[in-house]
C-alpha cells in the first residue's frame, strides 16, 4: 500500500488539494448565497451585477435593452426591444465555473506569485467571456428564438467550458510545478 501511495503521490495530492479547495470555495459561495437577503441586489449581488453588465453591453451594441427582476423566480429578465428573451439566474454569474477553475489551478500550483496572478487573470477572463456569452446568447435568442436549445444547451456551454479548458492547458503546460517536477 505504501508503495502505491508513494508511486501516485502527485495524483493523490492533486485530488486532495482539488477537493479541499473546491469544498472550501463552494461552502463559502453557498454561505454567501444564503446570507444574501436580496433586498438591495436581487436575487444576489453577483447575479444582479452580471445582469446589469449584460444590459449595458447589449445597449452598447445598438439594441434597446433592460433588465428587471423576475416576479416569480430568483432571476433577472433580459428584455431586448420590448421582447423578453432570457433570464439571468444564479448559475449564469460564472462564480461556480470560476470556483472549478481555481480549484484546478490550486491543485496544480506553481510559484505562489505566478499562481495567484494566474488565478486572478483567469477569473477575469472567465467572467468576461461569460458576460460576452450571455450578451451573444440574448441577442441570438432575440433573433432566433427557435434555436434556444442549440444556443443555450450546446454552443454556449462549449464556449465557457472550452475557455476554462484552454486556461487549464496553458497553466499545466507553462506554469505548473507538478508537471515540471515529473519531466
Show the cell assigned to 143.
433573433
Query: Model confidence over 24-48: pLDDT tens digits?
Result: 999 999 999 988 776 788 999 999 9
Residue predicted with more confidence, 180 or 66: 66
| pLDDT band with cut points at 50, 70 and 90 for residue 183 | very low
Contact 58, 138 (CB under 8 A): yes
Burial class (CB in 10 A: 0-12, 13-18, 19+), 86: buried
- Where are the domains positioned within the chain? 2-38+90-182
pLDDT at res. 153: 87
pLDDT at res. 178: 56
| HEC assignment per residue over 122-139 | HHHHHHHHHHHHHHHHHH
Query: Model confidence over 79-126: pLDDT tens digits?
Result: 999 999 999 999 999 999 999 999 999 999 889 999 999 999 999 999
Residue 182 has pLDDT above 70, yes or no: no
Query: Model confidence over 47-70: pLDDT tens digits?
Result: 999 999 999 999 999 999 999 999
Show the cell assigned to 77.
429578465
Amino acid at each position: 500500500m505504501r508503495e502505491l501511495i508513494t508511486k501516485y503521490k502527485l495524483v493523490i495530492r492533486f485530488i486532495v488539494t482539488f477537493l479541499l479547495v473546491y469544498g472550501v470555495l463552494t461552502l463559502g459561495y453557498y454561505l454567501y448565497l444564503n446570507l444574501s437577503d436580496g433586498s438591495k441586489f436581487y436575487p444576489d449581488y453577483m447575479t444582479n451585477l452580471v445582469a446589469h453588465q449584460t444590459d449595458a453591453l447589449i445597449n452598447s451594441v445598438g439594441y434597446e435593452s433592460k433588465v428587471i427582476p423576475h416576479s416569480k423566480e430568483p432571476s433577472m429578465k433580459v428584455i431586448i426591444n420590448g421582447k423578453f428573451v432570457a433570464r439571468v439566474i444564479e448559475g449564469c454569474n460564472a462564480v461556480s465555473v470560476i470556483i472549478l477553475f481555481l480549484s484546478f489551478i490550486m491543485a496544480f500550483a506553481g510559484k505562489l506569485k505566478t499562481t495567484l496572478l494566474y488565478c486572478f487573470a483567469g477569473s477575469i477572463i472567465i467572467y468576461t467571456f461569460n458576460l460576452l456569452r450571455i450578451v451573444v446568447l440574448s441577442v441570438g435568442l432575440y433573433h432566433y428564438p427557435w434555436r434556444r436549445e442549440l444556443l443555450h444547451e450546446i454552443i454556449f456551454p462549449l464556449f465557457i467550458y472550452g475557455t476554462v479548458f484552454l486556461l487549464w492547458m496553458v497553466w499545466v503546460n507553462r506554469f505548473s510545478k507538478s508537471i515540471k517536477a515529473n519531466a
